[in-house]
Amino acid sequence: MPESPAKRRTCPPGLLRREDAAAYCGVSAPTWDRWTATGLNPQPRKIVGAVLWSRHELAEWCRRGCPPRDEWEAVWRSVLSRR
């Protein structure tokens, strides 16, 4: 059962909850869940029990053709090291 809007905490800037991450990438939440379970999208971060994705990472992931997580992690580390 979804949390009521009053109980739902706001996300830190630049982080997206599951529904928002899915919409940002143009898919439904159930599709996003399947991708997460099978390692097809970037690894989420857990912060105080919330599962969140970085908007910046998702944008870069989409720009690079949405590779599976096992390929993406090396690419993302490379992107971060160039900052």
Q: What is the pLDDT of residues 1-31, one digit of tens each?
A: 565 555 556 767 899 999 999 999 999 999 9
Q: Which of 82, 7, 11 is nearest to 51 (CA)?
A: 11
3-state secondary structure at position 14: coil
pLDDT band at 34 (very low <50, low <70, confident <90, very high): very high
Q: Could you tell me if 21 and 54 are in contact, meaning their C-beta atoms sit under 8 angstroms apart?
A: no
What's the rounded mean pLDDT across residues 33-37?
A: 98
CB atoms within 10 A of CB 13: 6
How do the domains of the chain map onto residue ranges?
Answer: 15-81
User: Distance (Å, rounded) from C-alpha 26 to C-alpha 3?
Assistant: 23
The predicted-structure confidence for 70-82, as pLDDT tens digits, reads as follows: 999 999 999 999 9
* 8-state DSSP, 67: -
